[in-house]
Structure formats: C-alpha cells, structure tokens
Amino acid sequence: HDYGFHFMKFGETAVVDLENFTLEGKSKKAFRNVLNKFAKENMHFEIINPPYDASLFADLKAISDKWLEGRAERGFSMGYFDEDYLNRSPMAVVKDEAGAIIAFANLMPVYKEGWATIDLMRYDPEEAPAGTMDFMFLNLFLHFKEEGMKFFDLGMAPLANVGINEQSFLREKLAYFVFKFGSSVYSFEGLRSYKRKFTEDWEPKYTGYSHRSSLLFTVL
C-alpha cells in the first residue's frame, strides 16, 4: 500500500492438513471406496521421474488433447502442456491393468517448507473411469504424508468468496457475478465444489497491482 498498490481478492486456495489426514472413520468411507474400487480393477498409482522419453510424452500429449476436447489452454491459475516444463519435475500417474497411463499430474516445486502441490492435471476422458482424479489425489496425500510433508496445496478456486460482503468494492462485486454466472467460460463453482470434498480449509489469495495500472490491464 505504501508503494501505491491496490489489492483485490482473486479467490481462495484449498489446503489439506496432511498431518491430520486419515482414511479412518465413517466420514472417510467414500475415500476408502474409491481406493478399493481401483484396487479391484488392478489400477495403480505411481511416481515417475525425469527425464521422460518421446514415447511417454506422446502418450501424455494424447491424453491432454483428449481432455482439452479442442479447447485452447488457459494457464491462468493452472499449468498447461509443455514438454520442457514437464521434464523438470517428477510426475504422478495412474495406470490401468495393462500398464497404460490414463491420468497424470506434475509435482510442482514448492518453496515453503513442509508444503507440496501439483500443477498440470489431465486424464483420458475415454479410458479413465469415474473417480480417477479422486484416486490420484488420495494417493498424493498419502504419498506426501509418508514423505513428511505437512500441507498439500490443492490450488486456487478463482473468484471464490469474492465480493460477497456488503462493504466489498464494486470490482469485487462484479467478480462475484462472474463467479456465479460465468460457468460457460470457466467452471468456477464446480472447481470449488470439487475441492471441498477433500478439505474445508481455505486461504485467501490476493492480487496486487500498481495504482498507475488498471485492474483489467493487469488481469489481461
């Protein structure tokens, strides 16, 4: 503020407390059912490490293209398919009974001690059964918990809980209408709803921009 910056809330990040994460108890029955379902179908989770060969990238690109269904990559708050980028970090994959990859996510480097997260997530909409990404996330939580991590960052739900207060600025109230009625452009509410199944802990995220610039120009 002292340097002439304005701030606007841009959404909330879902955080999973790995130290207290468990599959025990009645409330976690759905999670256990997911793991049991994939175990019965001989599907498994695996962490692979770079460098990745051309054959693997061809498989991942095919999955990514199917997932996009002709849509352009957005890359605003999530990663996009880029071989050089993906070749810099380990990757979580889900394989079917034949050993073919049906879903993947790259493990993004995190510079906060005790934290872990992923960036790009893709699955094959034709071959991946329902619950594949739940299976991916549950295994990631268990993997990083064993690694001694304390928190898993599920990523931002853009525009979540922005402009909901009477005292909110006009630009934030406009963002609220985008969140509520912009589903044809981006599944704002759907993304938040999906992440809520794993956690109720949310951290607000803000964008800072110079008073010499406009918010619209900054976003673009």
DSSP 68: H
The CA distance from 88 to 116, in Å, is 16
pLDDT score recorded for residue 195: 85
- List own/partner pairs for 187-196 with CB under 8 A and 24 or more apart: 188/157, 188/158, 188/159, 188/160, 191/157, 191/158, 192/12, 192/14, 192/157, 192/160, 195/14, 195/154, 195/155, 195/157, 196/14
pLDDT score recorded for residue 111: 87
Average pLDDT by stretches of 10, the chain with 220 residues: 85 91 92 95 95 95 90 71 92 95 93 92 93 95 96 79 67 64 58 83 86 77
Helices (H), the chain: 29-40, 54-68, 83-86, 132-146, 170-181, 188-196, 215-219
Q: How many helices (H) and strands (E) does the chain have?
A: 7, 7
